[in-house]
Structure 1
């Protein structure tokens, strides 16, 4: 079985250092086997940080299965990637790639770390953009990404992690310890 956390392409640039993932204590995870690889992943699937080259590996196409992405050139993707990378400790986008499938990105989740003045200048984590490619669903990759990003948030010292979800998927998140605390998030959209 291959490692569940893959090393980043040392020739490319990662959004964050993969040692952050490798150093996690995954013993609390339901699906991540302790030190023995992830049982629902095949040998060709591995998790790693988002890389600059993932534009060519289908990252935006994957995101379009979740929400509207838009059609924009590689240069815009790379400029945005550089802005995110220039804020170390804030953006942690994890991807699952199919190594045998040409490094195609088949799953992703992003952890955004928010610095707060409350709770003694604490940090809050927020889960964003959890999506698995439609061809790879029912392999528990969503659960795997959720557990991995949750442990990443815990390992980075956040006092809590939150996420927005539609009522119909609340049950999925509750299986992993997320609760509805009765808070309602309101939105004001400035663009479609």
Structure 2
């Protein structure tokens, strides 16, 4: 079990199983990180990469999202209800970075999976709502959270991971291995090749 998983306790109600974040294929993306970091070794021992928890309302999860977009007035009851809907529906893999020294969420990214009939009834992943607290920038945490959910989508068997971004962010996502979709440079994707069974 990884270092990060040892920090979980039985009282935690996660959006998805934290064991899914174990043994991600970091060899696939380590060239994008200098120095190399992973979700289990994020560079600072007090940082923890994990699934969103029901109790993260009290750790400032909505405040970190508000650095990205307008969140609106969301009560704790609203948050908990939406969390349970996402958990029960499945396909929602909101992954966060917690600063355990101050018990606050300082980064987040969402992987949403979609069942398809194409590609032999494959699974497609979408990357959404990527944000890192502006006081933590410069530590590769944006790269870390994007690559963590990218590798999670690969582990889940997605044939590709896609995202939509503004013009200014195209070079950033290209630096993480994403390519623009033909005819729409703002729609980007990362395809995962099937391994040859022979």
Question: Could you state the TM-score of these two structures normalised by the residue count of structure 1?
Answer: 0.87
CA distance in 1, matches of 2:10, 2:40: 24
- Tell whether the 8 Å contact from 1:26 to 1:151 is kept in structure 2 after alignment: yes
TM-aligned CA deviation for residue 80 of structure 1 = 0.1
Q: Deviations over 1:75-104 (max 9, x none)?
A: 00000000000023x010100000001x20
TM-aligned CA deviation for residue 35 of structure 1 = 9.6
CA distance in 2, matches of 1:84, 1:10: 20
Q: How do 1:33-182 and structure 2 match up within 5 A?
A: 33=37, 37-38=41-42, 41-88=43-90, 90-101=91-102, 103-182=103-182
Aligned positions, number? 181
Q: More helix per residue: 1 or 2?
A: 2
Query: What 5-or-longer segments of structure 2 have no aligned partner?
Result: 188-198
Query: What 5-or-longer segments of structure 1 have no aligned partner?
Result: 187-192
CA spacing shift, 1:145–1:111, aligned 2, 3 Å: same
CA distance in 2, matches of 1:36, 1:84: 25
Q: More strand per residue: 1 or 2?
A: 2
Q: How do 1:17-28 and structure 2 match up within 5 A?
A: 17-28=17-28
SS at match of 2:101: helix
SS at match of 1:27: helix
CA distance in 2, matches of 1:81, 1:181: 32
TM-aligned CA deviation for residue 176 of structure 1 = 1.3
CA spacing shift, 1:33–1:65, aligned 2, 3 Å: closer
CA distance in 1, matches of 2:64, 2:37: 26
Q: Please report the RMSD computed on the Cα atoms of aligned residues, expressed in angstroms.
A: 2.1
- Tell whether the 8 Å contact from 1:8 to 1:49 is kept in structure 2 after alignment: no
Q: Deviations over 1:147-171 (max 9, x none)?
A: 1111101111011000010010110
